[in-house]
Amino acid sequence: DLPDKGIRRKRKKETRGKYSNGRSIEERPSEVDSRKTFGHYEADTILSGKTKGQAIATVSERFSRMTIVRRLPGRDSESMSNLLTSLAKELGSNMSSLTVDHGKEFSQYSRIESQANIPVYFAHAYSPHERGTNEQRNRVLRRFIPKGRLIEEIDDEELFQINILLNTMPLKCLNWRTPLEVFMENIKF
């Protein structure tokens, strides 16, 4: 009955190599840490499990906890940078910064910074608490897409429904308002 049952097991090591360039999270403005300002995002990817193939990208806004869930053709830097640059163009001035981990899918961070005109900050290795919003929203997303379920089996309609459910769930940290409500109150058109 517990939502986190079985989550604490030994994880597989990264085999795609190490990546250690980029702007450190220590250079990120303190206003981002306090969650008092709108427009600062965190990004990550979710895989189906042991098989390689499609992935899901999650981009969470820190202030409202709004999470954007999109399908990726693979867990590579090309598809992730294409997604993030197009998302930054859609959001415009509503995207001020992006915080990511040291995954290989973010190795084209300089392209994201130049095309989207936003700074990209890298969290320290093995420190998921530095991107807590995204990690927590990914944990909730795993209720709908458990490990082992192939992402190729999830059609676009179901992914859209999961996105709606994720963002219309009232949260205690938002005074029992939904992430979608808070996001729509703060977005500038």
Average pLDDT, the chain: 89
Residue range 124-183, pLDDT digits in tens: 988 889 999 999 999 999 999 998 888 999 999 999 999 999 999 999 999 999 999 999
Residue at 134: amino acid letter: N
pLDDT at position 74: 85
Q: In the chain, pLDDT over 90 holds for what percent of residues?
A: 67
Q: For the whole model, what pTM was predicted?
A: 0.87
Concatenating the DSSP letter of every residue in 155-178 gives: -HHHHHHHHHHHHSS-BGGGTTB-
Residue range 89-104, pLDDT digits in tens: 999 999 999 999 988 8
Q: Is 74 helix (H, G, I), strand (E, B) or coil?
A: coil
pLDDT at position 53: 82
Residues 19-31, mean pLDDT to the nearest whole number: 84
Residues 30-37, mean pLDDT to the nearest whole number: 90
* For residue 17, pLDDT beyond 90: no
Residues 112-134, mean pLDDT to the nearest whole number: 92
**26 CB neighbour count, 10 Å cutoff:** 10
